């Protein structure tokens, strides 16, 4: 694994392993004393991480839990959280992250729906872990063999759905990105994203299979751009993965603070449409002269990133509504289809993703899975994921054009408007409801709930509605504004007129 020319560790091929944790073990065996994680003042070596993961795996087995099922991890951010994720894999089980900040009802849904038998939590003592054995849930749906993780994402019917990814998916993804971007043992990553979102899979496991390290970004630092920029500089971060909106806040802080990031090598923008004006500002600023900036597009259902495009002044045009997302990474195949046929150059269609990155499906939701995942028989059976994303095919790759449905992104976080609407409809004081995204002229987009009260004489109790939603939805899904309307606008054929609704709630007109 050693590079004969230098000290750099050359990553092994992902295909040499059946599980991601085996790949991490190979790195540990090669460089046990190398730093794997920097968590505040704590430096965790590969050997230590491995020991802690093994200890947890033994503790889980001692509770009588058999490998192969789901195990929840509900822990605050810190190096033991990552040891727990690795420990769950060492035990031969699949991890299901449960965010401690989610409301109880959502946590309970994830716990019951995944059929997890055990929850790993922060223990009483400093740095300790606690295991909570759970009663078998009646909704238990078995996981396919070698499931790596189940991530819950917003569901249009009112409940989040669990996307099931197997080790083979993750190995193919890691192998593909490591070779494409030549990530290696000299890279320092920032672990910014909650393990509930798949960008964390890149931020945690790419460094750990390449002998690199990652810096844990504490939650208070993640929400304070000026503190975050200091951490990037102090910890000599070389690879930064960011959601475009959050990247803009960071750029503002860097410009204000006059700080440079000379060691930054790669910026990976992902999770939502890039903002051309922000990237152009960044490129012109000279803040990180050595850094290349990439746009990475992909849904959780095709394992983190699916396509990539380097961004430059040539392909960034703030006047265009579409943004370049480039071409497929090695673990996926891309087809852009309209009416089942590939669209010619210059035309737009729906992005379909095939190949080794395609997820197993949604846990316990065979019909929903069948609607989104297509099986095609071309001599061999191929599985494709219908993304609901629109792209135009150009000579230089794909250009992202938006969605076919009402799924939206706020700060990179995926929200099915239907999930918010289903909860509003279920409230007795609401007759009709719709959720829309709007924005102020130069501001960030935000969510608005439009409600028609059940009783024409009584106004909706907004604080009570907000509290009702906050008890059921993570904070990023709770609308910032509530607008009461006598009726929802309809199109000529009687469907909700979302365009009209957006006009009605736009801050300048409302
Ligand atoms: P998630 O499963 O949370 O990663 O969300 C996936 C969705 O986010 C995709 O289906 C797209 O709608 C959107 N998305 C992700 N990356 C990009 C990108 N680089 N450009 C535009 N949209 C993106």
Residue 443, pLDDT score = 84
Ligand 1 and 414: CB distance under 6 A = yes
Would you say domain 323-403 falls under CATH 2.30.38.10?
yes
Ligand 1 and 300: CB distance under 6 A = yes
Compare 224 and 444 and report the one with higher pLDDT: 224
End-to-end CA distance of the chain: give it in Å, rounded: 62
What are the tens digits of pLDDT across the range 378-403? 888 899 999 999 999 999 999 999 99
Percent of the chain with pLDDT over 90: 85
Ligand 1 and 400: CB distance under 6 A = yes
What are the tens digits of pLDDT across the range 22-35? 999 999 999 999 99
DSSP 157-201: TSS-EEEEEEHHHHHHHHHHHHHHHT--TT-EEEE-S-TTSTHHH
Please identify, by atom number, the ligand 1 atom nearest to the C-alpha of residue 295: 19
Question: In the chain, where are the structural domains located?
Answer: 11-310, 323-403, 407-505
Pocket test for ligand 1, best of 241, 271, 348 (most atoms within 8 A of CB): 271
Return all residues near 123 (Cβ < 8 A) that are at least 6 apart: 129, 130
Distance CA(201)–CA(198), nearest Å, equals 5
Q: Is the pLDDT of residue 470 over 50?
A: yes
Pocket test for ligand 1, best of 200, 304, 407, 414 (most atoms within 8 A of CB): 414
What are the tens digits of pLDDT across the range 279-293? 999 999 999 999 999
Would you say domain 407-505 falls under CATH 3.40.50.720?
no
Phi then psi dihedrals of residue 135, to 5 deg: -70, 145
Q: Is the pLDDT of residue 83 over 90?
A: yes
Closest-CA residue, ligand 1 atom 10, reads 299
Q: What DSSP element (H or E) covers 310?
A: strand 307-310
Residue 494, pLDDT score = 86
Characterise 251 by phi-psi region: left (phi > 0), alpha (psi -120 to 50), beta (else).
Answer: alpha
Q: Is the pLDDT of residue 139 over 70?
A: no
CATH classification for the domain delimited by 11-310, as one of 3.40.50.12780, 3.90.1110.10, 1.20.1630.10, 3.40.50.300: 3.40.50.12780
Whether the CB-CB separation of 264 and 288 falls below 8 Å is answered with yes
- Mean pLDDT in residue range 433-440: 92
Stated pTM of the model: 0.94
DSSP 3-state of 252: helix
Ligand 1 and 412: CB distance under 6 A = no
Give start and end residues of each alpha helix (H) in 235-361.
244-257, 276-285
């Amino acid at each position: 694994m050693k590079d004969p020319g230098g000290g750099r560790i050359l990553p092994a091929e992902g295909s040499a392993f059946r599980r991601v944790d085996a790949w991490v073990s190979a790195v540990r065996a090669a460089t046990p004393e190398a730093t794997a994680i920097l968590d505040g003042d704590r430096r965790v070596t590969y050997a230590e991480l491995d020991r802690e993961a093994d200890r947890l795996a033994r503790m889980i087995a001692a509770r009588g839990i058999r490998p192969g099922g789901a195990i929840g991890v509900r822990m605050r951010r810190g190096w033991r959280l990552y040891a727990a994720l690795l420990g769950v894999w060492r035990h031969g089980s699949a991890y299901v992250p449960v965010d401690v900040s989610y409301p109880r009802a959502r946590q309970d849904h994830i716990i019951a729906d995944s059929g997890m038998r055990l929850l790993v939590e922060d223990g009483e003592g400093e740095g300790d872990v606690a295991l909570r054995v759970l009663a078998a849930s009646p909704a238990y749906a078995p996981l396919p063999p070698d499931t790596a993780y189940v991530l819950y994402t917003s569901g249009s019917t009112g409940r989040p759905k669990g996307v099931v990814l197997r080790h083979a998916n993750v190995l193919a993804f890691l192998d593909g990105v490591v070779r494409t971007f030549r990530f290696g043992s000299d890279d320092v990553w920032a672990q910014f994203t909650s393990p509930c979102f798949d960008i964390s899979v890149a931020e945690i496991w790419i460094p750990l299979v390449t002998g690199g390290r990652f810096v844990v970004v504490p939650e208070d630092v993640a929400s304070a751009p000026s503190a975050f920029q200091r951490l990037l500089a102090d910890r000599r971060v070389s690879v930064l993965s960011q959601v475009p909106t959050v990247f803009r806040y960071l750029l503002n802080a860097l410009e204000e603070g006059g700080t440079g990031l000379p060691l930054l090598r790669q910026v990976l923008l992902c999770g939502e449409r890039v903002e051309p004006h922000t990237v152009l500002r960044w490129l012109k600023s000279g803040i990180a002269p050595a850094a290349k900036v990439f746009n990475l597009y992909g849904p959780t259902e095709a394992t983190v990133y699916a396509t990539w495009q380097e961004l430059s002044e040539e392909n960034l045009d703030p006047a265009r509504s579409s943004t370049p997302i480039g071409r497929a990474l090695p673990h996926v195949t891309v087809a852009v289809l309209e009416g089942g046929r590939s669209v010619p150059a210059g035309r737009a269609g729906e992005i379909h993703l095939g190949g080794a990155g395609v997820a197993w499906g949604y846990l316990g939701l065979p019909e929903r899975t069948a609607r989104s995942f297509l099986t095609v028989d071309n001599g061999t059976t191929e599985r494709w994921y219908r993304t609901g994303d629109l792209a135009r095919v150009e000579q230089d790759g794909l250009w992202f054009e938006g969605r076919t449905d009402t799924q939206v992104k706020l700060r990179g976080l995926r929200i099915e408007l239907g999930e918010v609407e289903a909860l509003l409809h279920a409230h007795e004081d609401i007759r009709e409801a719709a959720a829309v995204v709007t924005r102020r002229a130069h501001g960030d987009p935000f969510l608005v709930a439009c409600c028609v009260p059940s009783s024409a004489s009584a106004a909706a109790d907004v604080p009570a509605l907000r509290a009702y939603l906050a008890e059921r939805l993570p904070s990023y899904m709770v609308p910032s504004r509530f607008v009461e309307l006598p009726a929802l606008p309809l199109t000529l054929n009687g469907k909700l007129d979302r365009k009209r609704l957006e006009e009605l709630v736009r801050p300048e007109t409302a």
